Structure 1
């Protein structure tokens, strides 16, 4: 399993300092905007060169690729302009520009984090030991978060239900109750299916029963869906292998992910 990661760096490539900064790949314009606007906030003089985004995170799939680009670029800017700045201050500066550019996830905690998506404000940083493995499928196509939120109206009638689910999830994560957290993820996936339908949901529900997965998870503004297992299950490896084979037989291409966790100190 390859670790998903994003890194930003500046290459001068013998360019004049008076030349404008460009970005590579050329479509990572938000990353470039994050770097240059934060540079202006810090009252630093710009320089020429190329802002390179080295990322293996799939774009528009639900992996928070653009937020990763933005934060990597902003943190690079801070480290170059203020090399001795404390980490907390660097994170605050990076988030100050990120929230101006898009809705996003809080990616600066090494584990599970609850955040207010519109402001990227951290609500709770969790320390867990769930040991989840997710067998995921990509349903194809692309979902651009901004377009999705603009084109698909929110359902105010579900707000109370989601608030209750959030409270239950918070309790489950604090208690390291993986099966309970997976059940909540399943309920959220089912509730969301009228806004961004996952055609694999019925197949995943059947495979959940067949292979004893704890639950189902989906990207709420992406193309991914998956089954949640845990390495606490004694026959974990056999369940994963069987599930992937069953997905292949149904015409899906499965991928295996592990949950990013910060363990308790």
Structure 2
């Protein structure tokens, strides 16, 4: 029997930084999904998986080891809508899907914390294995706290091109840690605004906090289009922006009744260039779908 699970990608993070020595980010899961299927086979201990999905293969093997099924053979299939190398959690979604589908195929279960431990042993990871919106330590794999269900926010993901290797980016932690220490007050304010916004379902507060975090991250990973996109989106009724703090994409946070999406795209292309790509989506909770 083939087991399939669907896991959301992200539009970066709503907030990311370092507070009181702890790495923190607030997840931004979006309705752009990775579908991962796992089927048990008769091939002793073999894992069949696409050669470019090394991290997923590692996650499946570690799940088998954790659950005591190292002799079991599995076939893994992945069909993903999530762009790679943009800061949209493409590999994390595949890893989470691989863990969940493998466990389910075996008739076993794994907790979000178990999945987080497996994921963090492979690479810095997003907290999308947890339901809802969470504050998560992407380097330690620890959930700091659950913030609740996502408020109604549509997102226009803007991709200016290029890609970033997450492992290579995170190897420069000492430089980013010094900047995070300098900006800690701004990050704490951003985190408090987004937390309050989610609790009260006040999307304006979420947008304000996300924008503050995006601007604070410019010293770590500069996005030359950010100021223009903030200005354009605000002029048309956007509630704020967020970014992939270790990726390329910028998210424009919009009220669910926003009706100027084509004009928004047009003005961004006029100001930032015709090479800009867009993905229309919405904020959702983490977990499986």
Normalised TM-score (structure 1): 0.84
| Structure number with higher relative contact order (C-alpha < 8 Å, ≥ 6 residues apart) | 2
1:213 aligns with 2:270: no
1:164 aligns with 2:189: yes
**Contact 2:115–2:129 (CA<8 Å) still a contact in 1?**
no
**Contact 1:139–1:198 (CA<8 Å) still a contact in 2?**
no
CA distance in 2, matches of 1:189, 1:102: 23
- Report the CA distance between 1:11 and its aligned residue: 5.0
**Contact 1:7–1:72 (CA<8 Å) still a contact in 2?**
yes
CA deviation profile, 1:57-86 (whole Å, cap 9, x unmatched): 1111111111111111111222233x254x
Alignment of 1:184-195 (within 5 A): 184-195=209-220
Unaligned runs of 5+ in 2: 1-29
CA distance in 1, matches of 2:253, 2:196: 19
Match for residue 16 of structure 2?
Answer: none
1:100 aligns with 2:121: yes
CA deviation profile, 1:16-49 (whole Å, cap 9, x unmatched): 613732311x111111011112212222133445
Match for residue 111 of structure 1?
Answer: 132
CA deviation profile, 1:86-141 (whole Å, cap 9, x unmatched): xxx43333223112112111113343222111133222333346321122210111
Match for residue 197 of structure 1?
Answer: 222
Match for residue 111 of structure 2?
Answer: 90
Pair 1:249–1:70, CA change in 2 (3 A): same
Q: Which runs of 4+ in 1 moved over 6 A?
A: none
Unaligned runs of 5+ in 1: none
1:139 aligns with 2:164: no
Q: How many equivalent residue pairs?
A: 250
CA distance in 2, matches of 1:29, 1:111: 28
1:67 aligns with 2:74: no
Match for residue 26 of structure 2?
Answer: none
Pair 1:261–1:20, CA change in 2 (3 A): closer
CA distance in 1, matches of 2:214, 2:118: 30
Pair 1:257–1:207, CA change in 2 (3 A): same
CA distance in 2, matches of 1:5, 1:51: 16
Match for residue 8 of structure 1?
Answer: 36
CA distance in 2, matches of 1:190, 1:168: 15
**Contact 2:155–2:280 (CA<8 Å) still a contact in 1?**
yes
CA distance in 2, matches of 1:109, 1:18: 32
Alignment of 1:212-231 (within 5 A): 212-231=237-256
SS of residue in 1 equivalent to 2:79? strand
**Contact 1:23–1:50 (CA<8 Å) still a contact in 2?**
yes
Normalised TM-score (structure 2): 0.78
